[in-house]
Amino acid sequence: MIASRRRRAAAAGYLYLAPAAALTLVFVYWPLVASTALSFYDWNLVSPTWTAVGWENYRELVHTRAFWLALVNTGRAAAALTVLTVLVPLLLAVAVLRVKGWWRNVYRVVLFSPTVISMAIACAVWLWMFHPLHGVINTLLRYGGVEGPRWLSSGSSAIWAIILVTVWKTFGFNFVIYIAGLLAIPAEMYEAARVDGASERQVFRHITLPLLAPTTLFVFLTTFILSPQNLFVPTQILTQGGPNEASNNLGYLVYQLGFEYFRVGYASAAATLIFLVLLALSAAQFYFAERRVHYGR
């Protein structure tokens, strides 16, 4: 009697799980397996014949300049993005909380505004601003007697243009998270420190920063995990990975190989490698960040 009722309750429980479970299996976990399987084939997206090629796709990939460039660029961009989109929002949040009343909200609303608009549309606007001849950036530089570079088609500046746009578009989220984190620190903590004669800088270092550590961990992890995905749209719209692969990154490389060169197996090999690299990196980062937060207190 009880056993059968329990079984019925469990069956009902599975019905609640079913929609999300089915979607997750079909659109995330099966594709992960399928992508790995595809990586051992040579297929051009339309041909009826598939050729099993063993490890050939992987071998070709690690011998390609484009792959290593994309890997290095992704690492560089992720590092730059993580530093910038953690530091800048923290400083801005501290500054905004110094302001009282109506202005505080104005600053908050304005600084967050790029976060709510579409990255693809924002990139179209930046594409125009970066235009070498008529773009506003080079027009202004010309007033200063400087001939600006071709921002998006020069190997040294293209990736920085992508990073700049990504920071502009995404820092707002971390900014409001930091504001919430700062507001959650009890005022008594500050008062106690001031009574003890701590300087403003000391208060920031020994009270604010340690108490913000959980917020920083969250911001750090989400920024890092999302950065390869955040890079895709600006890369696709601003540079298509160019010039000569100088601004390419792993996420865009998979798209390029799969949907521009139609080398499905080869692209899948790249996708599988990215997944492994990211998995290892996030595991390592989580491990270190976790220790820091616990021992830092």
Partner 1 sequence: MAGKARWVHALLLVTCAAVVFPMFWMLSTALKPPPEIFAGTFRLWPVHPTLQNFATAMTQVPLLRLFWNSLFVAVVVTAAQALTSVLAAYACAILRVPGQRVWFGLFVATMMVPFQVTMIPNYLLVARFNLLNSYMGLVVPQVITGYGIFLLHQTYRNLPASLVEAGILDGASSWQILWRIVVPATSTALAALAVLFFINTCNQYLWPLLVASDRYMKTLPVGMQEFVNLEGGTNWGPLMAAATMAIVPALLAYVVAQRYVLESFVTAGLKE
Nearer to partner 1, 207 or 277 (CB): 277
Nearer to partner 1, 69 or 264 (CB): 264
CA distances from 47 to 36, 64, 205, 262, 263 (A): 20, 25, 62, 10, 11
Among 1, 5, 16, 186, contact with partner 1 (rule: CB under 8 A): 16
Pick one of 1, 28, 187, 195: the residue that binds partner 1 (CB under 8 A).
28
Report the C-alpha gap between 28 and 35 in whole angstroms: 10
- Closest separation between CB of residue 141 and partner 1, Å? 10
Closer residue to partner 1 (CB): 106 or 189 = 106
> What is the Cα–Cα distance from 158 to 246, expressed in whole angstroms?
7
Could you tell me the smallest distance in angstroms from the CB atom of residue 193 to partner 1?
18
Phi/psi of residue 52, each to 5°?
-75, 130
Check residue 13 for interaction with partner 1 (CB under 8 A).
Answer: yes
Report the alpha-carbon distance of residue 31 to residue 44 in Å, rounded. Answer: 18
Alpha-carbon dihedral sign for residues 94, 100, 102, 103? negative
| Residue list 254-273, contact with partner 1 (CB under 8 A) | 254-255, 258-259, 264, 267-268, 271-272
- Dig out the tokens for 105 from the structure: 């909200």
With CB under 8 A as the contact rule, the residue among 53, 70, 161, 237 that binds partner 1 is 237
Q: Where are the alpha helices (DSSP H) in 39-64?
A: 56-62
Give the tokens for residue 22. 């089915």
Q: CA-CA distances (angstroms) from residue 145 to 54, 139, 141, 151, 230? A: 58, 10, 7, 17, 35
Q: Per rule CB under 8 A, is residue 194 in the interface with partner 1?
A: no
Nearest distance from C-beta of residue 246 to partner 1, angstroms: 20
Q: What is the dihedral of CA 16, 18, 19, 21, to 10 degrees?
A: 120
Q: Where are the alpha helices (DSSP H) in the chain?
A: 2-24, 30-38, 56-62, 65-98, 102-116, 119-129, 136-143, 158-183, 187-195, 200-203, 209-211, 213-234, 250-255, 264-296
> How many residues line the site for partner 1 (CB under 8 A)?
92
Using the rule CB under 8 A, which residue among 26, 79, 192, 209 binds partner 1? 26
| Start-to-end Cα distance in the chain | 52
By CB under 8 A, the residues from 51 to 80 that bind partner 1 are none
Residues 168-187 that bind partner 1 (CB under 8 A): 168, 173, 176-177, 179-181
| Residue 55 CB, nearest approach to partner 1 (Å) | 19
Residue 284 in the binding site for partner 1 (CB under 8 A): no
What the block records as the tokens of 141 is 């530089």
- Interface of this chain with partner 1, residues 103 to 162, rule: CB under 8 A: 103, 105, 107-122, 124-129, 131, 133-134, 136, 139-140, 142-143
**Binds partner 1 by CB under 8 A, chosen from 69, 80, 162, 228:** 228
Among positions 58, 190, 204, 218, the unique one binding partner 1 when judged by CB under 8 A: 218
Q: Which of 1, 2, 3, 20 binds partner 1 (CB under 8 A)?
A: 20
> By C-beta, is 65 or 98 nearer to partner 1?
98
